[in-house]
């Protein structure tokens, strides 16, 4: 019983750290560091931390089969590079709470894609989760009042994209974890993600000097927090918690993340949600819980 309690505490601590990510991103962009640069540094610092831990604990376990490099490359591109970019953009262009709620459309995305791509049965519970997520998102982004949309459609689209790419994170992760331990999976996913983020930034026309430490020095504190605390430490806490409690129950506890994000957004930046937006947030969380329960 005591072991289970500690597991719930660890998962809740991870959710709190993830919930604080939006505030750190806002401080980073306020210091003049763009979304691409912040994403590269977050992934890069987390990669260095994971690699250091792997070299200390299991240096021989870093070898992977050549045929699996494609899986890790896809994992890093979709669920690290694209996810980081989408979520950071959503935070920058909407509110911290809105971005966090849209992120939690991930279970609905996975449910829908699994039905289309893998032929999984779309049960009444799964159908209900999709409907709840759709209605909840419409309320969160104030679709009932388009002229007063909080943020812009690019931010909303980025938020939904973050939910999609985050949902795919679990799919890639399941495939990789069948063959390799969690730390090694994290090392390769973050490594490929960092490389792809830098390449995307250069392709977008950013000069290489924008990624140097001297260019991001004003935001180095928040970048360290993003990479080592909200990414590496949060992942470790969540995995440690999963060793003590069931994955379905851990997922339910993790839905504290958007709640923490909303509270911090209000306390730090004075962001507020209208009653209908709050109702939409509740519906999105209900959709996430329903999707988890149906699995």
Distance, in Å, from the CA atom of 9 to the CA atom of 42, rounded to the nearest integer, reads: 25
Q: At 151, list the tokens.
A: 């943020």
pLDDT score, position 13: 93
Q: How many CA atoms lie within 13 A of 184 on its CB side?
A: 17
Distance, in Å, from the CA atom of 114 to the CA atom of 112, rounded to the nearest integer, reads: 5
H helices of the chain, in order, are 2-19, 21-30, 35-57, 69-76, 83-93, 96-103, 106-117, 124-140, 153-177, 182-203, 213-216, 220-224, 234-242, 247-254, 256-269, 275-294
Quick: pLDDT tens for 34-54: 999 999 999 999 999 999 998
Q: What is the DSSP letter of 226?
A: I
pLDDT score, position 286: 83
Distance, in Å, from the CA atom of 65 to the CA atom of 70, rounded to the nearest integer, reads: 10
- Report CA-CA distances (Å) from 255 to 101, 250, 252, 270: 10, 9, 5, 22
Q: How many domains does the chain have?
A: 1
pLDDT score, position 36: 93
Domain that holds residue 112: 2-294
Q: Kindly give the parts of the chain with pLDDT less than 70.
A: 1-2, 117-118, 143-144, 146-151, 247-248, 291-295
- 3-state class (DSSP) for residue 272: coil
- 3-state class (DSSP) for residue 232: helix
pLDDT score, position 217: 93
Distance, in Å, from the CA atom of 103 to the CA atom of 97, rounded to the nearest integer, reads: 10
pLDDT score, position 35: 92
Quick: pLDDT tens for 125-149: 777 877 888 788 778 877 667 665 5
């Amino acid at each position: 019983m005591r072991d289970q309690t500690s597991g719930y505490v660890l998962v809740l601590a991870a959710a709190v750290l993830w919930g604080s990510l939006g505030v750190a991103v806002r401080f980073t962009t306020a210091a003049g560091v763009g979304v691409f640069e912040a994403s590269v540094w977050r992934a890069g610092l987390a990669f260095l931390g994971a690699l250091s831990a792997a070299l200390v604990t299991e240096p021989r376990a870093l070898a992977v089969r050549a045929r699996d490099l494609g899986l890790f490359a896809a994992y890093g591109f979709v669920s690290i590079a694209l996810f980081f970019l989408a979520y950071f953009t959503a935070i920058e262009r909407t509110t911290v709470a809105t971005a966090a709620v849209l992120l939690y459309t991930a279970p609905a995305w996975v449910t829908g894609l699994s039905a289309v791509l893998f032929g999984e049965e779309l049960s009444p519970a799964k159908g209900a989760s999709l409907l709840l997520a759709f209605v909840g998102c419409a309320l969160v982004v104030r679709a009932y009042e388009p002229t007063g949309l909080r943020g812009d459609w690019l931010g909303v689209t980025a938020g939904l994209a973050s939910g999609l790419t985050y949902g795919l994170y679990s799919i890639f992760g399941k495939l990789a974890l069948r063959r390799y331990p969690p730390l090694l999976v994290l090392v390769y996913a973050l490594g490929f993600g960092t490389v792809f983020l830098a390449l995307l930034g250069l392709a977008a026309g950013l000069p290489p000097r924008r990624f140097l430490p001297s260019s991001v020095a004003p935001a180095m504190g928040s970048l360290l927090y993003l990479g080592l605390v909200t990414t590496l430490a949060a992942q470790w806490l969540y995995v440690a918690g999963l060793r003590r409690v069931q994955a379905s129950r851990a997922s339910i506890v993790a839905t504290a993340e958007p709640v923490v994000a909303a509270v911090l957004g209000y306390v730090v930046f004075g962001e507020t949600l209208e009653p209908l937006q709050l109702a939409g947030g509740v519906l999105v969380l209900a959709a996430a819980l329903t999707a988890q329960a149906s699995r």
